């Protein structure tokens, strides 16, 4: 079962239309709500996302600066706060192309959760689940 703060690698997140190759993505679990996993993708592409302040809700790309996490994530990274197509089911994490990579430190996670909960593309249901996670973690 995935837990908030865990970073997972999805080895076949999408299919590249040009090459037909399955592409991987890293994702951060923000909350687990009744079998749904609220997550956002990680990116190493800055694309106008600032380093300071870490939480940025502006255009063109809202994000939360995570810095260099380490291990497989050796580049500067941001949590991409744009809307995802859908939340994943917890079953995707045990029956699929997913593997646990690492977890964020609590202090960073608490800040990232607050930023994500208030992002424009975060739904009310997701925001409620994220705030519940913050409360459970004692943020």
The pLDDT tens digits for 115-136 are 999 999 999 999 999 999 999 9
Q: Distance of alpha carbon 63 from its chain centroid, rounded?
A: 10
Residue 85: pLDDT band (50, 70, 90) is low
86 or 45, higher pLDDT: 45
pLDDT of residue 13: 84
**For the chain, what is the mean pLDDT?**
92
Mind listing the domains of the chain with CATH numbers? 6-137 (2.30.30)
Q: What is the reported pTM? A: 0.92
pLDDT digits (tens, 9 = 90+) for 10-32: 988 888 889 989 899 999 999 99
pLDDT band at 97 (very low <50, low <70, confident <90, very high): confident
Residue 130: closest CA among 103, 102, 111 = 111
More confident residue, 102 or 35: 102
């Amino acid at each position: 079962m995935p837990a908030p703060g865990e970073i997972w690698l999805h080895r076949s997140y999408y299919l590249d239309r040009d090459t037909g190759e399955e592409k991987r993505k890293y994702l951060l679990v923000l909350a687990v709500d009744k079998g749904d996993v609220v997550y956002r993708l990680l990116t190493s592409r800055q694309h106008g996302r600032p380093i300071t302040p870490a939480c940025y809700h502006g255009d063109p790309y809202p994000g939360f600066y995570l810095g260099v996490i380490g291990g497989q994530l050796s580049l500067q990274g941001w949590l991409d706060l744009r809307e995802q197509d859908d939340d994943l089911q917890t079953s995707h994490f045990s029956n699929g192309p997913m593997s646990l990579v690492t977890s964020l430190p609590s202090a960073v996670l608490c800040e990232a959760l607050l930023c994500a909960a208030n992002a424009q593309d975060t739904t009310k249901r997701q925001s409620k689940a994220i705030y519940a996670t913050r409360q459970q973690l004692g943020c």
